[in-house]
Amino acid sequence: MNKIPAILIFSILASIVACASPSDSKKEELLAQMEFNRSVTLKDLDDIEKTGKADQALRWSVSPEHAPVGWHFMHLASTEDKFASMMSGKSLVSEKLAEQFSSGQDANRDVPSLPEVRRYLQDSRQALVAAIQDFDYNRLDEKPAPDARFDFKTMLKVIVFHEPHHQGQAHATFNLYKKP
């Protein structure tokens, strides 16, 4: 699989968030990058499904101290769910899953089935895309709440970085699972 150089990813990030008031074309660039990132994630899920042991593969990890393959996918969905809620002010797609697979938690070994993983990825992505499309970009330097970890500008940077990061971890872990 071709690797995307880090410099390319960071240059895309810089172009996306360079303006305080991005035009619709900047939003479209962000959404196009997210769509590309998701296509790679979905290919990994397709490969996991082809094993005929998807649930086993999703719950596999290198050791008890490491996250299972499926945790990374659920963590992606959880993060997008939370960011969509913060950007839009709307409810989470799944409060339970958003908490269960959030940052700072021990990697949950109770990974849902492949169809449930796909559904949460899809539903949280739909919520995030809607939030990005409706977001007032004059608020980029604001935080969603006084105690929030990031302002909205940083959240957009994390969104573009986050999926390739965890998709890569899931991919590497899955490759170890496939080795006898």
CB atoms within 10 A of CB 123: 17
What proportion of the chain, given as a percentage, has pLDDT over 70? 86
Q: Pseudo-torsion of CA 36, 113, 77, 105, nearest 10°?
A: -130
Instruction: Give 27-178's CATH code, choosing from 1.10.8.80, 3.30.390.10, 1.20.120.450, 3.30.230.70.
Output: 1.20.120.450
| pLDDT of the residue at 90 | 97
d(CA 104, CA 141): 24
pLDDT digits (tens, 9 = 90+) for 10-62: 555 555 555 444 568 888 999 999 999 999 999 999 999 999 999 999 999 99
> Which tokens belong to 99?
């908490």
